[in-house]
């Protein structure tokens, strides 16, 4: 995604994905044991609860069950206030917006896909984690699958906000929130895991392409979230899109033009298949 003044900013969110991917490699999603697994000598134990991850057969990035869903319905949420420079304000913002996004997405994921993702944690942090060589000064937020959290990087947000007066519009930060929340959806629908595996096995160029497909899908799903929050009309959404995706080209996140394209697609979607960036032509994920 690209709430970045410079192209380097877009690279920042790459960190998000990379963190997620690294963790996914070491902590693969648990899935119910396949039929016949009890032959290994362990009796299955009925603990009276549904598995956290329902079996979704033959998962594939291009024909994933997520794409069979309609976009989330609107949810009645008050327009949140945010002072981007204030840590306390971010705490209140996440406490207000997080449950709204849960209301929008979690019933849909449960009813249609049988998924019950664990609740997110939200943190306001001063710095992005240093595990990566990406330009850490540009990271505004990141999703960590290690602890299933969305983290807002206050130091960088303050700098970004001071440079860009339009960033005082909460919609810009809701777009950022929606993008990170989309990584949470991707993680628990296994899309992050599937994409990470593809990246592992690919050439460097192909790996970057999978990164861009993942990130641009987050832009698309994030815009669907913003639409469902029902706080802005289409004209306002396009202004948010222009501000949010004003960065330059990023090899990990795609061009600003493509980021705007996928935001617009997600805003207008009537089926999440529209957000299938993994089946999109190469020019739309460059
Ligand atoms: Zn991202």
**How many whole angstroms from 89 Cα to the centroid of ligand 1?**
23
Q: How many domains does the chain have?
A: 1
Region 62-76: what's the mean pLDDT? 93
Task: Write down the pTM of the prediction.
Answer: 0.81
- Is there a domain that residue 184 lies in? yes
pLDDT tops 80 at residue 171: yes
Does pLDDT of 53 surpass 60? no
How far apart (Å, rounded) are the C-alpha atoms in residues 32 and 146? 20
Indicate whether 56 belongs to any domain.
no
Residue 178 Cα distances to 42, 52, 74, 115, 279, angstroms: 42, 23, 14, 19, 22
**Burial tier of 9 (Cβ tally within 10 Å: 0-12, 13-18, 19+):** buried
Tally of residues, the chain = 286
Q: Which of 277, 271, 230 is nearest to 61 (CA)?
A: 277
How far, in Å, is the centroid of ligand 1 from the Cα of 210?
12
pLDDT at residue 226 is higher than 50: yes
Residue 57 domain-assigned (yes or no): no
Could you tell me the two tokens for 195? 């994409």
Residue 142 has pLDDT above 80, yes or no: yes
Q: Say if 119 falls within a structural domain.
A: yes
132 Cα–ligand 1 center, Å: 15
Question: Cα(179) to centroid of ligand 1, in Å?
Answer: 6
Determine the pLDDT at residue 255.
94
Within a domain: 33: no
Answer left, alpha or beta for residue 19, where phi above 0 means left and psi between -120 and 50 means alpha.
alpha
pLDDT at 57: 53
Residue 234 within any structural domain of the chain: yes
Instruction: Quote the ligand 1 centre to 212 CA distance (angstroms).
Output: 9
Going by pLDDT thresholds of 50, 70 and 90, the confidence category of residue 6 is very low
In a domain, 46, yes or no: no
Distance 35 CA to ligand 1 centre (A): 36
| 247 within 8 A of 6, measured Cβ to Cβ | yes
- Whether residue 50 lies inside any domain: the answer is no
Range of the domain at 137: 7-23+64-285
Q: Which of 76-90, 94-108, 163-177, 216-230 has the lowest mean pLDDT?
A: 163-177
Tell me how far apart the alpha carbons of residues 222 and 171 are, in angstroms, rounded to a whole number: 12
| d(CA 30, ligand 1 centre) in Å | 23
Q: What's the gap in Å between 105 CA and the centre of ligand 1?
A: 18
């Amino acid at each position: 995604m690209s709430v970045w003044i410079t192209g380097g900013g877009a690279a920042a969110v790459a960190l998000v994905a990379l963190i997620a991917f690294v963790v996914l490699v070491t902590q693969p999603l648990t899935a119910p044991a396949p039929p016949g697994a009890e032959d290994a000598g362990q009796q299955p134990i009925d603990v009276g609860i549904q598995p956290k991850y329902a079996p979704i057969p033959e998962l594939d990035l291009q024909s994933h069950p997520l794409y069979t869903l309609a976009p989330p319905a609107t949810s009645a949420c008050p327009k949140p206030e945010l002072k981007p420079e204030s840590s306390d304000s971010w705490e209140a913002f996440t406490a207000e917006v997080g449950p709204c996004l849960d209301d929008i997405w979690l019933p849909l994921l449960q009813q249609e896909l049988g998924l019950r993702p664990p609740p997110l944690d939200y943190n306001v942090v001063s710095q992005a984690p240093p595990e990566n060589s990406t330009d850490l000064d540009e990271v505004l937020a990141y999703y960590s699958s290690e602890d299933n959290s969305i983290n807002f990087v206050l130091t960088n947000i303050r700098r970004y906000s001071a440079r860009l007066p339009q960033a005082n519009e909460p919609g810009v930060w809701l777009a950022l929130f929606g993008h990170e929340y989309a990584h949470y959806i991707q993680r628990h629908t296994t899309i992050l895991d599937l994409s990470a595996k593809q990246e592992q096995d690919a050439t460097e160029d192909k790996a970057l392409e999978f990164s861009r497909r993942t990130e641009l899908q987050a832009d698309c799903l994030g815009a669907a979230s913003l639409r469902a929050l029902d706080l802005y009309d289409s004209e306002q959404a396009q202004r948010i899109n222009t501000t949010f995706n004003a960065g330059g080209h990023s090899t990990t996140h795609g061009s600003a033009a493509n980021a705007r394209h996928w935001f617009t697609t997600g805003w207008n979607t009537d089926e999440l298949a529209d957000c299938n960036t993994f089946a999109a032509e190469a020019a739309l994920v460059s």
